A and B are shown apart, each in its own frame.
Chain A
Amino acid sequence: MGNGEVLLRVENLKKYFPLRAGVFKKVVGWIRAVDGVSFEVFSGETLGIVGESGCGKSTLGMTILRLLEPTEGRIFFAGQDITRLPPAKLRPIRKDMQMIFQDPFSSLNPRMTIQAILEEGLRVHRVVPRDAMQKEVEMLLERVGLSRDYVRRFPHEFSGGQRQRISIARAIALRPRLVIADEALSSLDVSVRAQVLNLLQELKREYSLTYLFISHDLAVVRQISHRILVMYLGKVVELAPKEAFFARPLHPYSVALISAVPIPDPGVRKVRIILSGDVPSPLHPPSGCRFHTRCPRAQEICAMTEPPLLEVEPGHFVACHFPGSLTLEGTSG
């Protein structure tokens, strides 16, 4: 677990995308993908970010890496404010923050050899002398469980799981401090997913990495994370240590999310809490608490005022007017 040092701090981060229409591409609205998110990531921990599609979790990851420009708010990495850092000053910091992408078929350039793919970052940052490059690349491949003979091959010669290993090798090549994994296991088959999940755990120990693990899959997040952050429509609704989160989730949305995941064991009986309706559009998010349109415990106040994210137990934050009112047992508390 973390050693208490804050590696990444995000303060009131917002990322809005303009919605344009008409001949002159006038801005007719803003899609509020990330809407005022604050949290800290401690050095050495894994923070799991969960939520459904459209909740802004991927946008959040890309904005932290400055692959998207933040609309508002601040990002501190290792104590330095990187929110408005110009590209030239950002480049050396990129070395310390890497990303593993979801789609292993789109994340590797089909016209580059594995060697070229793995070398690219090393060349840009000149971390390995030219004559040691070959050895380094081979070492990386072997470290992620692939044969060193693969260096001359092209991405399309590999299966999804192997490609994801190559992506991982590229991400760790620069010995980053923070790795953001955006749905890194989602496209993989069950048996391969377990292998790659184990690999990520090993690499974390070996290179003392810090992970921001973004996923819609709660079961995977549970296996890898120390703390869990739940997002809904661009907002943080709950942030808690893993044990507390799964034992006693406080936000009704977290409860519904956990109860919606089918358990691969016919012996386990559990209460299903089925939310009605769809996730509203981030273009016109509901007033007050954004979850109130689907919340089984919504009261009048929920549509009026937005609940702040409060620390209700040590380390357990929740943004709800009635935390704990919906439980996994399905009874009102």
Chain B
Amino acid sequence: MREETRKALRRLFSNASGVLGVVLLGLFVIVALFAPLLAPPKPGRDPYFMPVVTWSADPLPPSREHPFGVAGKRDIFYGVVWGTRTAFRIGILVTLASTAIGLFVGSLAGYFGRILDEILMRVTDVFMAIPFLVAAMVLTTVLGTGLDKVMIALIVFSWMYPARLIRGNILQVKEEQFILAAKSLGVSDTLIILRHVLPNAIFPVLIQASMRMGSLVITAAALSFLGLGAPQGYADWGALLNYARNWMLGGYGATFKYWYMIAFPGGAMVLFVLAWNLLGDALRDAFDPRLRW
């Protein structure tokens, strides 16, 4: 391992919030990996659909059998556990895809500049001008509901952030003399982008990606909550919250009666977002060469 990386890792683990982020994330990874053990699915059925456990539409409070309670005839614990996998899948796929598109667009715009930059950045502006949630709703209505559609909507409306960031960083790196030095050595444009520009411009994008990972899951949940996301019964934190829609205000004199419907899926979501943000913050502190060395 490179000396520089080792130093940065040491800084990462000497940072309390960074350690907390890593630990939280580790817990989520364990839950996702061991989901079949923690909440065994019924044999022969798609484990991503929460099995119906009661015939009554009324929610049930936590009990021995259903430790987090029951919502919409389904076990909340099962939903939270399998929903972790859904969260990771949405987060990772959407972040990877949007970052890849963003990197491509942003590096073209930043490195070659001029007209290409002008066109690409105006397109980016157009996408940024559309309110995200509204746009995603429109798109899912057009494409139809479903988790894959939600992910497409998220990708279509989030690649602009990495694109902008990488473009800005590239513009900065382009001014560095080592770029000129490489040009005067006769190095080709492609190699200059790959070896000189991207390695020096990409880090903030990765940090931003880690932060976006958390917020994407919230947005996906918001869409699910609105009934646009995961299909009925799919193990997804947002879908679980959707069941709570009619109950969350409680009743007269029983404001917190159905707290468990919100607390468990909501808590999972908050911790998930927190984990990624803490990690992102700590990574920035540990790696950002402008802050250190």
| Partner-B contacts on A (CB < 8 A) | 25, 62, 65, 67, 90-92, 94-95, 97-99, 101-103, 106-112, 120-121, 124-125, 154, 156, 167, 170, 174
CA distance A24 to B176 in the complex (A): 28
Contact of A111 among B3, B199, B293 (CB under 8 A): B199
A91-B186, A120-B187, A121-B186 known; A107 vs B199 contact (CB < 8 Å):
no
| Inter-chain contact B185/A110, CB cutoff 8 Å | no
Q: Residue A106 contacts which of B176, B199, B293 (CB distance < 8 angstroms)?
A: B176
Q: Is the CB of B181 within 8 A of A99?
A: yes
- In the complex, the answer to whether B186 meets A106 with C-beta atoms within 8 Å is no
For the complex, give the distance between the alpha carbons of A174 and B195 in Å: 20
Q: Which residues of B contact A112 (CB under 8 A)?
A: 195-196
Known contacts A67-B184, A94-B185; is-contact A108 B178 (Cβ 8 Å): yes
Which residue of chain B is the closest to A157 with respect to CB atoms? B3
Give A97 Cβ to nearest chain B Cβ, in Å: 7
- Evaluate whether A110 and B186 lie within 8 angstroms (CB atoms) in the complex, with A154-B4, A170-B181 already known: no
The distance from the CB of B125 to the nearest CB of chain A, in whole angstroms, is: 13
A124 x B186 contact (CB < 8 A): yes
Say if the beta carbon of B177 comes within 8 Å of chain A.
yes
Residue in contact with A124 in the complex, picked from B2, B118, B180, B187, CB distance below 8 Å: B187
Distance in Å: Cβ of A100 to nearest Cβ of chain B: 9
C-alpha gap A112/B289 in the complex (Å)? 14
Determine whether the beta carbon of B289 is less than 8 Å from that of A110: yes
Q: How far is the CB of A20 from chain B (nearest CB, A)?
A: 11
Q: Which of B180, B184, B188 has the most CB of A within 10 A?
A: B184
Interfacial residues, chain B to chain A (CB-CB below 8 A) = 2-4, 118, 176-178, 180-188, 195-196, 199-200, 289, 293
Tell me how far the C-beta of A187 lies from the nearest C-beta in chain B, rounded to whole angstroms. Answer: 11
Residue in chain A with minimal CB distance to B203: A111
Task: Report the Cα distance A259→B21, complex, angstroms.
Answer: 63
Asked if residues B177 and A102 are in contact (CB atoms below 8 Å), the reply is yes
Asked, given contacts A112-B195, A154-B3, A156-B293, whether A106 binds B185 with beta carbons under 8 Å apart, the answer is no
Instruction: Give chain B residues whose Cβ lies under 8 Å from the Cβ of A156.
Output: 293
**11 pairs, CB–CB < 8 Å, chain A vs chain B:** A67-B184, A97-B184, A98-B184, A99-B180, A102-B177, A106-B178, A107-B178, A109-B195, A109-B199, A124-B185, A154-B4
The 3 tightest CB contacts between A and B, nearest first, are: A94-B186, A121-B185, A107-B177
Collect the chain A residues with CB atoms within 8 Å of residue B199's CB.
109, 111
Once bound together, how far apart are the Cα atoms of A112 and B181, in whole Å? 13
The smallest beta-carbon distance between A331 and chain B, in angstroms, is 44
Q: Kindly list chain A residues whose C-beta atoms are within 8 Å of the C-beta of B200.
A: 109-111
Contacts of A65 in B (CB 8 A): 184
Other CB < 8 Å A-B pairs besides A65-B184, A111-B199, A112-B196, 8 of them? Answer: A102-B177, A107-B177, A108-B178, A120-B182, A124-B187, A124-B188, A125-B186, A156-B293
B177 engages A106 (CB within 8 Å): yes
Closest residue of chain A to B202 (Cβ to Cβ) is A111
A170 to B184, CA, bound (A): 11
List residues of chain A with CB within 8 A of the CB of B177: 101-103, 106-107
Residues on the A chain within 8 Å of B185, using CB: 94, 98, 120-121, 124, 170, 174
**A95-B186, A125-B186 are contacts. A107–B181 as well, Cβ < 8 Å?**
yes
Chain B contacts for A91, CB-based, 8 A: 186
A173 vs B185: C-alpha distance in the bound complex, in angstroms? Answer: 10
Residue picked from B182, B185, B188, B196, most chain A C-beta under 10 Å: B185
Residues of the A chain whose Cβ atoms lie less than 8 Å from the Cβ of B188: 124
